[in-house]
Structure 1
Amino acid sequence: MAKHLVLQTDFGTCDGAVSAMYGVALSVDSGITIFDLTHEIPQYNIWEGSYRLYQTISYWPEDTVFVSVVDPGVGSDRLSIVVKTADNHYIVTPDNGSITHIKQNIGIVEAREIDETVNRLPNSGESYTFHGRDVYAYTGARLAANIISFEEVGPVVNVDDLVELPLTDPTLTEDLISGTIDILDVRFGNLWTNISRELFEKAGISYGDSLQVTIDNNTRQVYKNIMTFGRCFADTHLGEPLLYVNSLDNLGVAINQGSFAKAYHISTGVNWKITIRKVPKISYN
């Protein structure tokens, strides 16, 4: 029985690129079930491609094959790889940092370089700019269709040698929690941080507490205000900010029925820092 094949790219759907990947995969085996993770990764944004894999992959059945193509170095000497995760999923992708969040948060148990003498679309050997179709969709489909095993992808690559993007771990001091804004909840403009709920609880913060939130981009302060830690968006009035626990069990920042990212022109990555400090309760007795 064929495995599921899930595609992610920065190609968009305004031309035939994604359709060509579908066609290659179905030509390998018309019984493959193909799904889209997203094709709206911002162009060349490897960081976001890495995070969207992490956001999604754990909710798919074991043995699902993911093809992730955000590849500004296409045609260069960067490796083409397939990795096996600790949760028994496979990711077919360039070795350019696209497995960063998976490696840190889930784990990679084995990696293999794609042997293009075997695992490449026939008669495509002189094409160097569409590996998403010629190498990744083709290899992913062959793996999903059980035409090749993981061992037949190609030679072993040391997992420790895989390219990773720089990450910063969240920290907790006596009264201050620091982290980064890793990604946006794009549709609604919420900020998703790398600060876990467990770290928040360790700081002794409870629902309903008031917190001072500061956001910096490198050395420039972008935002500073006091907001409530709520269970859901309805815990604040319309248009007010709040901290909440997102669907990955990390801290998020939102405006009730508004876009926090647009309101304050906030983006993502290791240069976007967030610090959270508990506001002391004032007693008037």
Structure 2
Amino acid sequence: MPIITLTSDYGTVDHRVAAIKGNILQLNPDCRLVDISHQIGAYNLVQTAYIIKNAYLNFPKESIHIISVDSFFHKDRKNILVKADGHYFIAADNGLLSLIFHDLKPEAIYEITINNRFDDDVKFASVDIFAPVAAHLNNGGLPELIGRKIKEYKEITFQKPYFKETENIMIGEVMYVDNFGNCVTNIPRNYFEKTAVNFNNFEINIRNILLKNIHRKYTDIVTDWEKETEYHGKASAIFNEQDLLEITIYKGTSRNGANTLFGLKVGDKIYIQFE
């Protein structure tokens, strides 16, 4: 039986997440529910896309992913079911899925039509629409029975890094800050390496602090494990497991990580000067 995952910007204090789970379990008491995250920033599609894209690959094929971010019901906005990479994704048609699958063509897109004739009865899309769709799929139901096939969904795009040839400088930006205060940028390894091959060296300039190396992993910054505590709080750059440039503080936390030390937040620019 497929797994159903839940991701939302609802937090865990209010009733909403429990209501979604309760509704699914009423429809299918035997289903397996897994939380991905409910601490998404309110309406933050970029953060959601980063988390979902890097989480769903670890679930079995045919898993069903409910994504309740910027998902409150509006009669003029579609709710969609998308099959992509062997998984099902249920969300509002707000552009989120185009961020997740910017490099992958979906296998099928459906406009969810259940409850369309009863718009006034839909108070909470995640309970009244998303949960029944997930339970239907979980029971082996066909997507064609809960929606009609459409050719496209709403598309939005990430801000991409770029290279200014006149100044030999690459400009990217912070796209995500994790629980350790690490700042993930939109600069992929292959784009950086394609540019760097034409130069002898580089400097990453962050608030006038210069980083001249990019490590392979977090612990590469430590060269003497007997003196490991001396490296606490030291700044470095790495390519993370998603092959994106990340600014990190060794053993940093949300209180003293790279975002705090450098005063960085999502959208702030990162400059790499090549020489």
| Contact kept in structure 2, 1:83 and 1:108, CA below 8 Å | yes
- Is 1:243–2:237 an aligned residue pair? yes
- Cα RMSD after superposing both structures: 2.3
Cross-structure match for 2:132: 138
Change over 3 Å in CA distance of 1:100–1:265 after alignment to 2: farther
Q: Structure 1 residue 190: deviation in Å?
A: 0.5
Change over 3 Å in CA distance of 1:250–1:50 after alignment to 2: same
Cross-structure match for 1:219: none
Instruction: Provide the C-alpha distance between the structure 1 equivalents of 2:163 and 2:99, rounded to a whole number of angstroms.
Output: 21
| Contact kept in structure 2, 1:241 and 1:256, CA below 8 Å | yes
Change over 3 Å in CA distance of 1:194–1:235 after alignment to 2: same
Deviations 1:239-281 (A, max 9, x none): 222110112121111112221112233222xx43322124x5x
Cross-structure match for 2:41: 42
If each structure's helix is expressed as a fraction of its own residues, which one has the higher value?
Answer: 2
Counterpart among 161, 181, 194 of residue 170 in structure 1: 161
For structure 1, the residue ranges without an aligned partner over 5 or more in a row are 215-222, 281-285
Instruction: Provide the C-alpha distance between the structure 1 equivalents of 2:107 and 2:163, rounded to a whole number of angstroms.
Output: 30
TM-score (norm 1): 0.81
Q: Structure 1 residue 75: deviation in Å?
A: 2.8
Cross-structure match for 2:228: none
Instruction: Provide the C-alpha distance between the structure 2 equivalents of 1:137 and 1:115, rounded to a whole number of angstroms.
Output: 14
Counterpart among 220, 224, 247 of residue 253 in structure 1: 247
Deviations 1:104-140 (A, max 9, x none): 033323210111248x9xxx86444411111112211
The total of aligned residue pairs comes to 256
Counterpart among 114, 135, 138 of residue 116 in structure 1: 114
Counterpart among 256, 268, 272 of residue 272 in structure 1: 268
Counterpart among 192, 203, 211 of residue 203 in structure 2: 211
Q: Structure 1 residue 210: deviation in Å?
A: 5.7
The percent of aligned pairs where both chains have the same amino acid is 26
The residue identity in structure 1 corresponding to 2:220 is: D
TM-score (norm 2): 0.84
Q: Structure 1 residue 73: deviation in Å?
A: 4.8
For structure 2, the residue ranges without an aligned partner over 5 or more in a row are 222-230
The residue identity in structure 2 corresponding to 1:230 is: H
Does the residue aligned with 1:169 lie in a helix, a strand or coil? coil
Cross-structure match for 1:193: 185
